[in-house]
């Protein structure tokens, strides 16, 4: 069941061991237990069922390579848990005419995060754990028992979660509004899983992907022969969601002509498939999301007022990241836990200057933007400290932007070119962007003993560009030789 209270100093570390080798499995389980990690053992034929019921942070595939030389198991791992690192472990004694080096190369190309074929011992297992398992404790406001918990401890986030507690057990339609990237879909999922319909289906519809010709068939289904290409009967999303919840994501993008039909179905909870004459009744709770100012769209004639009132049984606001500064470091560590295994970096520290910049930034892309910056920094950087110097070109994304209005989400548009060309606009708060760039160059040069070629590669710029920047900053007497 979903836990709604904040969980302090908790960390999910669950490992799946696919093996039928008793001695090897015993060694791995003992090592995991010593590190306080949950290990679950499965045979190859039981993997799919287990993965569909549980989330794992790491998968150790210890099956003999001659049984799965085409990586059938890996395909299952990646289909169900694509972000989870999978390690292939092969014993030397299993080499029966196979070229292990060639097999290892093919395994990595296929998608395994690592390949181990030397003698496995406790030290090697601990190294795997330290490299591929999340190691930083974060506070979660709610858990969906999935890869993505709702991370944070801020008062505004907790207000939203408290409202979810009250909303979830009811059957009232919910309209979740908030800026793009704030986690509206995650909140919608939480409402469903905390509701009395949690055991029923949870069906999502991306309204932005609908057009006038597809919308009706997508939501209501169609009969065989209803139109060209309708070779078989097809159930629509409403029918699939019967007894559960239907999420209409970005509802304001639904075609205007279709909105009238949608309103009737929401009112009556019945419909006919396209090309059919059989009345189909359903019991569906509807949750909608939007990042638009619906009252303004109604005034502009772009959204039906009656549909708005039907969808908006309860309004729920998801706060933007700039109003949740207390959650910044929790989210950073969460994304480090999630993506550090891919870069094989063990991060132990956050650069203080980076945190200062983050807390002053307005985060127009919200949590999605933060996630991308952390992931890019992890991939391009080196060492145990996470710093913006790891990818200096991302400073362009940290330009100050106009404040958002939480009521109408109005934002003054301004191109990146205009921002860069305006000499009066500085960087984050009182820190000019040039100064941030200078600091990044200095730190990167120091980390590479003054080697400009290596520094340029890490910074993501050419040697010539780096030399030009160094020359310009030295002429301004703000960059000293390393």
Fold of 323-431: Helicase, Ruva Protein; domain 3 (1.10.8)
Residue 184 confidence class, pLDDT cut points 50, 70, 90: very high
Residue 69 confidence class, pLDDT cut points 50, 70, 90: low
Neighbours of 429 (CB within 10 A): 12
For 366-422, write each residue's pLDDT tens digit: 999 999 889 888 888 888 888 877 666 666 556 554 444 444 443 322 323 332 233
pLDDT recorded at residue 145: 53
Mean pLDDT of the chain: 79
Same fold, 10-132 and 323-431: no
For 254-282, write each residue's pLDDT tens digit: 888 889 888 988 888 888 888 888 888 99
Q: Which helix or strand (DSSP H or E) is residue 28 part of?
A: helix 22-34
Percent of the chain's residues with pLDDT above 70: 80
Q: Which long-range contacts (CB under 8 A, 24 or more apart) does 190-194 make?
A: 190/2, 190/142, 190/144, 190/150, 190/161, 190/164, 191/164, 191/167, 191/245, 191/287, 192/168, 192/244, 192/245, 192/247, 192/285, 192/287, 193/2, 193/144, 194/2, 194/4, 194/164, 194/165, 194/168, 194/169
Per-state percent for the chain, helix, strand, coil, to nearest 5 = 45, 15, 40
For 118-135, write each residue's pLDDT tens digit: 677 888 888 888 888 866
Which of these, 429, 446, 431, 330, lies nearest to 389 by C-alpha position? 446
Neighbours of 49 (CB within 10 A): 10
Task: Decide if pLDDT at 63 tops 60.
Answer: yes
Residue 3 confidence class, pLDDT cut points 50, 70, 90: very low
Residue 287 confidence class, pLDDT cut points 50, 70, 90: very high
Q: At what angle do helices 366-380 and 328-343 cross, to 10 degrees?
A: 40
For 153-162, write each residue's pLDDT tens digit: 999 999 999 9
**Are the CB atoms for 386 and 374 separated by under 8 Å?**
yes
Task: Decide if pLDDT at 95 tops 50.
Answer: yes
The mean pLDDT of 80-109, rounded to a whole number, is 77
pLDDT recorded at residue 391: 63
Of 94 and 19, which is predicted with more confidence? 19
Q: How distant is the alpha carbon of residue 143 from its chain centre?
A: 15
Fold of 155-317: Rossmann fold (3.40.50)
Percent of the chain's residues with pLDDT above 90: 28
Task: Decide if pLDDT at 323 tops 60.
Answer: yes
CA distance 43 to 49: 11
Task: Decide if pLDDT at 196 tops 60.
Answer: yes
Q: Is 447 exposed, middle or buried (0-12, 13-18, 19+ CB in 10 A)?
A: buried
Which of these, 442, 441, 475, lies nearest to 460 by C-alpha position? 441
Of 363 and 422, which is predicted with more confidence? 363
Of 421 and 217, which is predicted with more confidence? 217
Task: Decide if pLDDT at 39 tops 70.
Answer: yes
Tokens standing for residue 132: 């591929």
pLDDT recorded at residue 301: 92
Residue 230 confidence class, pLDDT cut points 50, 70, 90: confident
For the chain, give every domain's residue range.
Answer: 10-132, 155-317, 323-431
**Are the CB atoms for 141 and 150 separated by under 8 Å?**
yes
Fold of 10-132: Rossmann fold (3.40.50)
């Amino acid at each position: 069941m979903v836990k709604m209270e904040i969980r302090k100093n908790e960390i999910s570390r669950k490992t799946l061991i696919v093996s039928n080798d008793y001695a090897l499995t015993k060694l791995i389980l003992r090592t995991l237990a010593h590190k306080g990690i949950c290990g679950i053992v499965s045979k190859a034929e039981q993997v799919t069922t287990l993965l569909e019921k549980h989330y794992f942070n790491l998968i150790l595939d210890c099956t003999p390579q001659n049984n799965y030389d085409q990586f059938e198991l890996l395909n299952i791992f990646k289909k169900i848990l694509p972000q989870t690192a999978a390690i292939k472990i092969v014993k030397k004694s299993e080499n029966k005419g196979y070229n292990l080096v060639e097999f290892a190369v093919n395994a990595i190309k296929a998608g395994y995060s690592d390949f181990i074929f030397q003698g496995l011992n406790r030290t090697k297992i601990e190294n795997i754990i330290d490299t591929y398992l999340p190691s930083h404790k974060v506070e979660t406001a709610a858990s969906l028992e999935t890869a993505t918990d709702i991370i944070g401890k801020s008062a505004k986030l907790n207000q939203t979660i408290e409202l979810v507690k009250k909303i979830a057990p009811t059957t009232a339609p919910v309209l979740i509004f908030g800026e793009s990237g704030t986690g509206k879909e995650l909140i919608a999922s939480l409402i469903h899983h905390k509701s009395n319909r949690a055991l029923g289906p949870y069906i999502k519809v991306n309204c932005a992907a609908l057009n006038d010709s597809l919308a009706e068939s997508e939501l209501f289904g169609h009969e065989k022969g209803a139109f060209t290409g309708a070779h078989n009967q097809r159930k629509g999303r409403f029918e699939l969601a019967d007894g559960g919840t239907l999420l209409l994501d970005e509802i304001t993008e639904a075609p205007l002509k279709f909105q009238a039909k949608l309103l009737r179905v929401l009112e009556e909870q019945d419909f006919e498939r396209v090309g059919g004459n059989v009345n189909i009744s359903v019991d569906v709770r509807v949750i909608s999301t939007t990042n638009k100012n619906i009252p303004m769209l109604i005034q502009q004639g772009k959204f039906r007022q009656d549909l708005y009132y039907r969808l908006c049984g309860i309004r729920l606001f998801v706060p933007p990241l700039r109003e949740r500064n207390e959650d910044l470091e929790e989210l950073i560590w969460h994304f480090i836990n999630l993506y550090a295994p891919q870069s094989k970096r063990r991060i132990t520290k956050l650069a203080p200057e980076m945190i200062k910049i983050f807390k002053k930034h307005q985060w127009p892309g919200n949590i999605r933007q933060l996630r991308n910056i952390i992931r890019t920094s992890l991939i391009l950087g080196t060492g145990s400290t996470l710093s913006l110097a790891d990818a200096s070109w991302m400073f362009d994304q940290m330009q100050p932007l106009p404040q958002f209005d939480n009521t109408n989400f109005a934002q003054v548009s301004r191109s990146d070119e205009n921002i860069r060309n305006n000499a009066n606009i500085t960087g984050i708060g009182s820190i000019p962007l040039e100064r941030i760039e200078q600091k990044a160059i200095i730190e990167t040069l120091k980390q590479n003993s003054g080697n400009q070629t290596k520094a340029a590669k890490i910074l993501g710029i050419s040697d010539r560009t780096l030399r030009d920047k160094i020359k310009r900053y030295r002429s301004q007497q703000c960059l000293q030789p390393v």
